[in-house]
Amino acid sequence: MEIVKLSSKGQIVIPKYIRDKLGLRKGSRLRIRLENKRIILEPVTEPPEEIFVKAGPEITEPILKEAKESSSKWG
């Protein structure tokens, strides 16, 4: 177990061996939550770039138009 000190700005330093083990780098994002009296930090993994599809207006505009039309029918 490691003990860290809270700065005047509420910051802590995550020990290097933990950052290395989790692959945390400058700019890494962490989710923080409170569980009873425990603070839980979890790395947020970004989805890989290759799962996203690049779509131009020829694809997105008809979809947005259809969504707008269907929402106006119900509103």
Residue pLDDT, tens place only, 28-68: 999 999 999 999 999 988 777 777 778 888 888 888 888 88
Tell me whether residue 53 is in a domain: yes
Tell me whether residue 8 is in a domain: no
SS3 67: helix
pLDDT at 51: 75
Tell me whether residue 6 is in a domain: no
Tell me whether residue 50 is in a domain: yes
- What's the structural domain count of the chain? 1
Give Cα 41 distance to the centre of its chain.
12
Tell me whether residue 32 is in a domain: yes
The pTM of this model reads 0.57
Beta bridge partner(s), residue 34: 39
Instruction: Give the domain extent around 32.
Output: 16-74
Strand locations in the chain (E):
30-35, 38-43
18/2 Cα distance (integer angstroms): 10
Tell me whether residue 4 is in a domain: no
Tell me whether residue 3 is in a domain: no
pLDDT at 47: 76
pLDDT range class, residue 24, cuts 50, 70, 90: very high
